[in-house]
């Protein structure tokens, strides 16, 4: 079941649409590599004691084992993605299909965009919405160059990774990195949502989907380096934007002794895993802003609250 807070959209890109692997300039590759932070290997944990949403299959908790790796300190930003597009000529799924889903409160007049997925009227199909025009024609990323790139499908994220000689993190790598060295905690910083009354990530405050008080400082996406980083120096591992990872959606790795080494998910599937929740998650609707939170979406889907970060072996 696809997460209803992340609508599926659009057919899959045809073979040959992606740029050649490893075609990035030295300057672009260095810029990408400079964002990576080392993550120690060893034993790690995945999942929660109990699932908040049973279809997410994020319980029970189990141990795994990982080799050291590196992962982006932030999600890929608009500025970095623009450099990729300039060098590769890549056209995103949303650009090829001519539309993407935009959250209704981000539109000047949602009534002008009446098409929406069944049961989720807060998502509107907007012609001309894409990564460079997040709310459709007339919008731009001029004042959001340091924000996460959005309106990118899994295929777009994978194309960026191939072109820059990196990879999408596995789901296991992503969760281990998100925890920041802490054990059995809900968030990258501990168990309290707002320790000392301070917001530590970008989520929804108010009555979803009509009223967002933006008490955390952001009604939409936040700059990729917002809030305090976790113990591994990584920003916004929960909230802000959902993040595509490499794995097909399925059960978590089996719980066994010795723990499964470097798990990588099923060999095939219909949907890819997304991790971490977004600025639209709230306790009353999509409470998926924890380090163990997971959901899924089809590889050709793009929305205004999904992005990605990249990784490499250690």
The residue ranking higher by pLDDT, 19 or 314, is 314
Residue 307 CA, chain-centre distance (Å), reads: 4
- Token pair for 36: 């990576």
Helix (H, G, I), strand (E, B), or coil: what is residue 252?
coil
The pLDDT score that the predictor gives to residue 12 is 39
Mean pLDDT of 53-67: 96
* Average pLDDT score over the chain: 94
Q: Is the pLDDT of residue 10 over 50?
A: no
**Beta strand pairing status for 242-248 and 306-308?**
parallel
* Full strand arrangement of the beta sheet holding 242-248: 294-297, 272-275, 242-248, 306-308
Taking residue 16's Cβ as centre, other Cβ atoms within 10 Å add up to 5
Question: Percent of the chain having pLDDT more than 70?
Answer: 94
Cβ proximity of 48 and 292 under 8 Å: yes
Q: Binning pLDDT at 50, 70 and 90, where does residue 13 land?
A: very low
pLDDT tens figures, 168-212 = 999 999 999 999 999 999 999 999 999 999 999 999 999 999 999
- pLDDT at position 165, please? 96
Give me the domains of the chain, ranges plus CATH numbers: 34-76+147-313 (3.90.1580.10)
Lowest average pLDDT, out of 18-32, 35-49, 300-314, goes to 18-32
Give the whole-angstrom CA distance, residue 260 versus residue 257: 8
Tell me the per-residue pLDDT of 101-146, one tens digit each, with 9 for 90 and over: 999 999 999 999 999 999 999 999 999 999 999 999 999 999 999 9
pLDDT surpassing 90 at residue 18: no
């Amino acid at each position: 079941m696809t997460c209803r807070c992340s609508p599926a959209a659009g057919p899959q890109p045809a073979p040959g649409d992606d740029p050649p692997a490893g075609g990035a300039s030295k300057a672009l590759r260095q810029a990408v590599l400079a964002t990576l932070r080392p993550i120690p290997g060893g034993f790690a944990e995945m999942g929660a004691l109990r699932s908040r949403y049973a279809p997410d299959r994020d319980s029970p908790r189990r141990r795994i084992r990982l080799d050291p790796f590196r992962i982006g300190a932030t999600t890929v930003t608009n500025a970095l993605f623009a450099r990729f597009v300039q060098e590769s000529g890549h056209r995103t799924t949303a650009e090829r299909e001519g539309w993407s889903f935009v959250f209704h409160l981000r539109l000047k007049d949602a009534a002008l965009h009446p098409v929406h997925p069944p049961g989720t009227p807060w998502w509107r199909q907007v012609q001309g919405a894409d990564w460079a025009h997040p709310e459709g024609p007339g919008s731009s990323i001029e004042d959001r160059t340091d924000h996460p790139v959005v309106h990118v499908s899994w295929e777009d994220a994978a194309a960026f990774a191939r072109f820059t000689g990196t990879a999408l993190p596995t789901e296991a790598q992503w969760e281990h990195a998100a925890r920041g060295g802490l054990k059995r905690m809900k968030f990258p910083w501990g168990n309290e949502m707002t320790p000392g009354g301070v917001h530590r990530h970008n989520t929804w405050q108010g009555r979803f989907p009509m009223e967002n008080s933006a008490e955390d400082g952001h009604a939409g996406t936040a700059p990729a380096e917002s809030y305090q980083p976790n113990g591994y120096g990584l920003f916004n591992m929960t909230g802000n934007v959902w993040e595509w990872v490499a794995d097909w959606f399925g059960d978590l790795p089996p719980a066994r002794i010795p723990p499964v080494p470097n798990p990588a998910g099923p060999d095939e599937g219909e949907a890819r895993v997304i991790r971490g929740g977004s600025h639209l998650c709230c306790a009353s609707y999509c409470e998926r802003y924890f380090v163990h939170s997971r959901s899924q979406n089809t590889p050709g889907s793009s929305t205004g609250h999904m992005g990605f970060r990249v990784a490499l072996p250690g």
